Structure 1
């Protein structure tokens, strides 16, 4: 009960801190959701994406000229 009371007094008691808490939480959630989705996509498509196969198609001899 002490933790919930402290969280309430710190973040939710005033409307301004409540609104800021919601905004920061939404930004944090969006970043974590986006990075998680990208990680899942890359894991499913491992070996099929350009960054995984570009070494097969790049010609290092042309870079020396």
Structure 2
């Protein structure tokens, strides 16, 4: 049995399973893309983001 026949029998044969496979693939691709792009953005802008410099602008905590 080839990989194509397995995919055809398991996913592509019914519209509902094909739709669910596309929806799940889209969800996981979006989450992965968001995580990777955010990591790249933060590594490029390290030291310039608010989370890195907020201690310079917030007043010290009163005792």
Shorter-normalised TM range: 0.7 to 0.9
Q: Which has the higher helix share?
A: 1
Verify: 1:31 aligned to 2:31, yes or no.
yes
**Which ranges in structure 2 are unaligned for 5 or more consecutive residues?**
none
Q: In structure 1, how many angstroms separate the alpha carbons of the residues matched to 2:43 and 2:10?
A: 39
Scaled by the length of structure 1, what TM-score is found?
Answer: 0.75
SS at 1:47 equivalent: coil
Question: Which consecutive aligned stretches of 4+ in structure 1 deviate over 4 angstroms post-superposition?
Answer: 5-8
Q: Distance in 2 between matches of 1:6 and 1:52?
A: 50
- Match status 1:64 vs 2:62: yes
**5+ long unaligned stretches in structure 1:** none
**Alpha-carbon RMSD:** 1.8
Q: How does 1:8-19 map to 2 (within 5 A)?
A: 8-19=8-19
TM-score for both structures, normalised by structure 2: 0.77
